Amino acid sequence: MKRPNMSVDLGRGLVLANPVMAASGTYGYGLEYEDLTDLSAIGAVVVKGISPLPRAGNKPPRIVETAAGMLNSIGLQNPGIENFLTQKLPRLRDLGATVVANVYGESDDDYLLVVERLSSSRGDGVSGLEINVSCPNVKAGGLVYGTQPDMLGALVAKIRGATDKHVMVKLSPNVTNIAAMAKVAVEAGADSLSAINTLLGIAMDLETGLPKLGNVTGGLSGPAIKPVALHLAWRTVRAVDVPVIGIGGIDNGRDALEFIRVGCRAVQVGTANFRDPRAPLLIANEMEEWLAAHEYTDLADLVGTFRA
Amino acid sequence: MSKKFIADAPLLVMDKLSDFYYRLTVEFAELAHEARPGQFLSLEIPGPNAPLLRRPFSIHRVLDDKVQVLFKVVGEGTKILTQQQPGTMLNVMGPLGDGMFAPSEQAEKFLLVAGGIGIAPLLFLADVLQKRKAETLLFFGGRTADDLPTKDDFAMPVTLTTEDGSVGEKGLITVPLAAALQNGDAAKIQVLACGPMPMLKAVAELCYRYGAPGQVSLETMMACGVGSCYGCAIEVGRDEHGQARYERVCHEGPVFDVNHLPWDDKR
């Protein structure tokens, strides 16, 4: 059987050897997995959200397992942009990883500071920026941008003006009309969209009446959200003409191919990494095998073949 | 930092010690050779009804190329684990955790302290201490006689307590521990403990009171187990603005020096 072409060009310099990326927040800075997998073989490693200064994160407990999923309320604990540039990125470059940096801020200026540093020569080795306007676990920034079209458009336009790198905007499912948010982001200059971030949820201890998360609410991920994610990815694809990267509950190659069928050009794998850090590579292999078995010569030929 | 491994490892033995305590043995040479006392591993629970996340377990003992896990059945995941037959391949990742038990060179006597399933990592530690021919004592407490698994595997003086008095003195293990610290030269003793949080807190208070160095192994919910998700964070203090500082039990831990943790400022 001939091996199908699995590479994906998402535009403006972001080229993936295969369509499976490791999703932000589930793969650290990649280096945590250096012993366990070949980082250079992963489509792209989307690193954990980076803010201008280190962030402490939320009060524990921060995770809880739920039916076919989990809630998290990490609160973007991260060591800040300077630490990333000096302590993480050089090693990622040495290992040959394709790196997408997830950018987070509490204000326009925060986002721009991180984008500008990553876009300077110090950010060599970063192939794309994923703009986090959808984290549900922080008081400022994140989801605040991702639910307000005017703020989102203004932010993305400023980022577009500040970088030549690929700009991917990560959309939230916690909106009434994801298509409207998608259009705003693309009109402001986004090169691609990733959808979806986590869904807001609560877990409770019935006996005590206490929330199971220190932050009360958290973001739901895992197989439980796949149908929701597939629907919202589909709606996003139909609203815009830039590449869409599907995210949400992808656990195996078949799940990933469903996102390709609704029109996504690539996918991100998140919670599955906790079960097996080799998930991005395993899933890419499963996709390739399925395509070969069905006599596809190019992944691109499956894009948008959902017969709805 | 130790090197981590992930592989499908053959399950050699699933030993039922009592209704709730099991000891499994897998063959995983690379992990066995790299592991140090206090580190842990994570297992993917097999089968269609498995929980979403891997389960972390202390490394109970290393025997040549084999690694043992002592576990208590507490939920669906551990229940499924007990049903696995020898010959099954289990997906094992480890050794994990940079914070391991670090027996002090200055200490002349080591007091191992366990509550219930907290005994799990201490046999591996006892093996290492005995190679050093260090004087080592075990203080092991449980709710009942059933909560003292593997107590007979420790070739050292063992003090037992149970809350119902069914074995050893009736009461908490911290009572005989306090006596041992009071009667000894606490500065030359090191306390190494694993168990439920209230016990660890009481152990930390005794360490402060008598001036004995101590280390404790903590347990939390974990997702990744390798320091990437920050889901297992615990507070380790506050900065000058009153902002909590967090560290990862899976990465900076699971073993912490008692002085490194805030213990609700009860020191």
As given in the structure block, the two tokens for residue B183 are 């009667």
Task: Give the best residue of B74, B229, B252, B261 to mutate against chain A (max A CB count within 10 A).
Answer: B229
> Of A224, A179, A178, nearest to A201 (Cα)?
A224
A104 residue type, one letter: Y
Mean pLDDT of B166-188: 94
Please determine, for residue A33, whether its predicted confidence score (pLDDT) is greater than 80. Answer: yes
pLDDT tens per residue across span A136-150: 877 777 888 989 999
Please determine, for residue B266, whether its predicted confidence score (pLDDT) is greater than 60. Answer: no
Length, in residues, of chain A: 308
A221 touches chain B (CB under 8 A): no
How close B211 comes to chain A (CA, Å)?
A: 30
Across the interface, of A32, A33, A63, the residue whose CB is closest to B223 is A63
> How confident is residue B57, by pLDDT bands cut at 50, 70 and 90?
very high
Contact list in A for residue B219 (CB cut-off 8 A) is none
Reduced to 3 states, what is the DSSP secondary structure of residue B260? helix
Contact list in B for residue A74 (CB cut-off 8 A) is 229-231, 233
Reduced to 3 states, what is the DSSP secondary structure of residue A183? helix
Mean pLDDT of chain A: 96
pLDDT tens per residue across span A90-99: 999 999 999 9
pLDDT at position B267 is 38
How close A177 comes to chain B (CA, Å)?
A: 30
* Record: contact B220-A69, CB cut-off 8 A: no
Note which residues in 45-84 of chain A have CB less than 8 A from chain B: 48, 56-57, 59-65, 68-70, 72, 74, 77
As given in the structure block, the two tokens for residue A190 are 């986004």
B136 neighbors B118 (Cβ within 8 angstroms): no
A268 touches chain B (CB under 8 A): no
DSSP conformational letter for B45: P
pLDDT at position A151 is 94
* Record: contact A276-B91, CB cut-off 8 A: yes
Contact list in B for residue A26 (CB cut-off 8 A) is 224, 228-229
> Is A264 assigned a catalytic role?
no
Residue in the structure block whose two tokens are 């199971």 = A212
B229 touches chain A (CB under 8 A): yes
Across the interface, of B52, B230, B245, the residue whose CB is closest to A74 is B230
Interface confidence, given as ipTM, is 0.94
Beta A266-269 vs A244-247: how paired, if at all?
A: parallel
Q: Residue B239: which region, alpha, beta or left (left: phi > 0; alpha: psi -120 to 50)?
A: beta
pLDDT at position B126 is 97
Q: Residue A17: which region, alpha, beta or left (left: phi > 0; alpha: psi -120 to 50)?
A: alpha
> How confident is residue A1, by pLDDT bands cut at 50, 70 and 90?
low
Q: Which of A21, A133, A135, A225 is catalytic?
A: A135
A272 neighbors A250 (Cβ within 8 angstroms): yes
> How confident is residue A287, by pLDDT bands cut at 50, 70 and 90?
very high
Mean pLDDT of A14-35: 98
B1: burial class by Cβ within 10 Å (0-12, 13-18, 19+)?
exposed
Mean pLDDT of A175-202: 97
pLDDT at position B265 is 53
B1 or A40: which carries more pLDDT confidence?
A40
pLDDT at position B186 is 87
* Record: contact A271-B52, CB cut-off 8 A: yes
Helix axes A226-239, A253-261, angle to 10 degrees: 30
Strands (DSSP E) found in chain A: 8-9, 15-16, 20-22, 44-46, 63-66, 69-72, 99-103, 126-132, 166-171, 192-195, 199-202, 204-205, 210-211, 217-221, 244-247, 266-269
Mean pLDDT of B26-36: 98
Mean pLDDT of A241-261: 98
